[in-house]
Structure 1
Amino acid sequence: MIQSKYLLILTICSVFIYVGVKFRNNTVATKIEPVIYYQLKDFNTVKKFDVHIHINTKETHFIQQAIADNFYFQDIVDDRPFGVIMDQQQSFAKIHLNNFPDQMNFATTFKVSNWDQKDWVKSTIAHLKQSFAQGATAVKIWKNIGMDLRDENGDFVMVDHPRIDSVLTFLSETGIPLLGHNGEPRDCWLPLEKMIFNQGYYGSHPEYHMYLHPEYPSYEDQINARDTMLEKHPNLNFMGAHLGSLEWSLEELAKRLDAYPLMRVDLTRMPNLKLHTFNNRQKTREFFITYQDRLIYGTDTAINPTDDPDELKDRIHQRWLDEWKFYATDNPLKLKGYGKLKGLKLPREVIDKIYFENASKLLGFKTMG
């Protein structure tokens, strides 16, 4: 009996010694690396990518500034019913891609003016194949689907429509990403007094203020149709423009990022991001760190032929620099109508992802350096 007790004690001691050695070994092997941050002065030395640009001119002033600021970018073609038409936008994109192939790529789109034609799916896929042969690496789907296009019965066509499914299946099979601008900011469906940032615009353009047009699909209709689209196409590489039209709630956006593993969003609604930071900086910062692989920097900047070259360059540079300050530093900033806040000061590895690596992975974009 005594020998058995000694044997038990010896065994227990051996386990403790083993665990202690193993713990010490793990402690040595898992050395904690210090968190490294960028500073404001690093802006020019870090390569960056703006995933949401619209170039509506042959002029190259914007591209010259992008080169000076170490920015690469994606030029996006839209099927807009106003301004520069789709074909002209694509023509500009091809010209710039031919002249600056190492600085940019472009996203094509497809028209819906021929929606009622029986061969719409076939002709749309043929157009996309031709665009890919000309250098396009992504496809944009715009808010006219869901807010303008109607079928032969007068019903609104949403992004989860069966005919659109055929096009999205084609994109899933080829691995081409879809960029989705679905609906408008939630403000569009709210009364003016409940809006956060858009009172001026919708007050001046009541024709676009959906709160005044209940016969149109609701905000929830737009989001639900987009979510249904993603559920039907789980292999589709998708980037939701403008924070996935969920700019008002990081919680709602997080739910979608959790539910759809191939969903990313661009960061093109900066006032909302600043407001989230103003209200709860720690929570906003944790969101960025948690979803650092799913967030892509963008500005939704439009470059038009009427832009003054010097003013354009200065405006673009200042915006890029100010937003770098917000993401990379904890410098004081102001949000009009609210007050002061501090930048997020995200770790360098997070900045590298949202400013370049995530876009590169989604679009297959590579630089020479």
Structure 2
Amino acid sequence: MNIRYWSLPTILFLIFLLSCSQKKQNAATTAEATTKNKTAAETYYTLDDFKLVKKFDTHVHINTTDAGLIKQAEEDNFRLLTINVDAPGYPDITEQQRLALEHVKAYPERIAYATSISVKDFNAPDWQNKTIAYLKDSFAKGAVAVKFWKNIGMELKDKNNKFVMVDNPQFDPIIDFISQNKRTLIAHLGEPRNCWLPIDKMTVNGDKNYYREHPQYHMYLHPEYPSYEQHIQARDHMLEKHSDVTFVGAHLGSLEWSVDELAKRLDKFPNMAVDMAARIPHFQYQSVKEREKVRGFFIKYQDRLIYATDFVFNKDRNSADVRKQAHETWSRDWKFFASDENMSVPSIEGTFNGLKLSREVIDKIYFQNAEKRFSSVNPK
């Protein structure tokens, strides 16, 4: 039909129909966009959700009566695990326990603590019995976990002046006791692989600066000490012997340099999880070139990864400075895990995009995985 012969009413009617069709199309487009936005909101957290989400930092060391870090944790919706450790420069483990219990009593919903063992008298005939007695007392007071430190393998020697590794039979009854009492064993064994590399081959600036300033701890310069591989092998052997113990490898189990290597251990040892304390930059380093691999690793092993920082708060540190550092670190890490924004951090060269993990994964790595392994235990 030639449009020249259309009547005015017909033209107006057609215009009306076209208008209705366009409105329906616009409404459908708006509905689709709304649905997508709603789905995204249900699937992912935003940066603004930081303080709304329950979180757990499972690796801090509070060696002071000052509750500043705990108060910042309250403000940022964190629970804390303060870990006693048999390390130089720290108070004796009995004093660390006293301080921890003081905070647990004052803030029972905000903080828990992990006890530790001392290897000071490791070669004495009664060392095992005394260590188990100390752990028994710690458990009665509410300790939810036990920390083994890197002096095992890096400092401790036997009667023949040989380095003692964590798979030494002397530790077997200690680990069995921890398992029987349904506590978690946290172990910092070895160091980052960078420790055994020349400085120009290291991956993150923090390691480069630290070992440049502390050559006595730079194992590349000390071949008389156990190798990186020996530490990993000893830890793996210990887990083979104690497949029933709930184990958390501190600092990504010293496998921070490769998500592939870490995945191999998580596949091999079902009782193993790892905390991220002081090792998140290593994920970020790998994300510069292989973001999707790192993101896929988090998704696949979402039940085995635990958020942690390794904050140290002692009497010589200013409370306000500690609170500021904690908030900035917690916020920056949240941005890495919850968003896909482009980021840079002082620890590494180059930029990377955040992992933008789903709410389900975030809830696990920030809280649920920790709750399973460090749930509160009521003192007897």
Instruction: Normalising by structure 2, report the TM-score.
Output: 0.86
Q: Paired residue for 1:37? A: 44
Matches within 5 A, 1:8-23: none
Q: In the TM superposition, what is the alpha-carbon distance from 1:82 to its structure 2 partner? A: 2.4
Q: How many residues in Structure 1 have an aligned counterpart in Structure 2? A: 335
- Aligned pair partner of 1:289 in 299, 304, 308: 299
C-alpha displacement of 1:304? 1.7
CA offsets, 1:124-179, max 9 Å, x none? 11100000111101000000000000000001110000010111111222221100
Partner of 1:342: 353
User: Matched residues in 2 for 1:242 and 1:230: separation?
Assistant: 17
* Partner SS state of residue 302, structure 1: strand
SS at match of 1:108: strand
Q: 2:343 aligns with which of 321, 333, 348?
A: 333
Among 87, 91, 98, the alignment partner of 1:80 is 87
Q: Tell me, in whole angstroms, the C-alpha distance in 2 between the residues paired with 1:342 and 1:192.
A: 26
Where structure 1 has 5 or more consecutive residues not aligned to the other structure, the ranges are: 1-31
- Aligned match for 1:163, one of 154, 170, 173: 170
Could you list the runs of 5+ residues in structure 2 that have no partner in the other structure? Answer: 1-38
Deviation at 1:89, TM superposition (A): 1.4
- 1:207: Cα distance to partner? 0.9
Taking structure 1 as the reference length, the TM-score comes to 0.88
1:312 and 2:322 matched: yes
**Structure-2 residue corresponding to 1:212:** 221
Answer yes or no: is the 8 Å Cα contact 1:97–1:105 preserved in 2.
yes
For residue 160 of structure 2, what is the amino acid of its counterpart? N
Q: Which secondary structure state, in structure 2, belongs to the residue aligned with residue 222 of structure 1?
A: helix
Q: How many Å apart are 1:279 and its aligned residue? A: 1.5
Measured against aligned partners, the alpha-carbon deviations of 1:80-135 in whole angstroms (never above 9, x if no partner) come to: 12233322211110110111111111000011111111111111111000001111
Instruction: Report the 3-state secondary structure (helix = DSSP H, G, I; strand = E; otherwise coil) of the residue aligned with 2:360.
Output: helix
Structure 2 partner of 1:12: none
1:354 aligns with 2:361: no
1:113-192 paired onto structure 2 within 5 Å: 113-192=120-199
**Partner Cα separation in structure 2 for residue 295 and residue 256 of structure 1:** 13
Q: CA RMSD, aligned part only?
A: 1.5
Identity %: 50
Q: Which has the larger radius of gyration?
A: 2
Aligned-partner SS, 1:171: helix
| Distance (whole Å) between structure 1 residues aligned to residue 265 and residue 318 of structure 2 | 40
Are the equivalent residues in 1 in contact too, given 2:70–2:111 (CA < 8 A)?
no
- Check whether the contact 1:230–1:260 (CA below 8 A) recurs between aligned residues: yes
Q: Is the 8 A contact 2:59 2:311 kept in 1?
A: yes
TM-superposed deviation, 1:33: 11
The residue identity in structure 1 corresponding to 2:153 is: G
Partner of 2:34: none
SS in 2 for 1:346: coil
For the 8 Å contact 1:275–1:335, the answer to whether it is kept is no
Paired letter, 2:67: T
2:131 is the counterpart of 1:97: no
Quote the Cα distance in structure 1 between the aligned partners of 2:316 and 2:124. 37
User: Which residue is equivalent to 1:19?
Assistant: none
- Within 2, Cα distance between the matches of 1:92 and 1:34? 42
Contact 1:49 1:72 in 2 (8 A): yes
Residue 309 of structure 1: how far off its partner (Å): 2.2
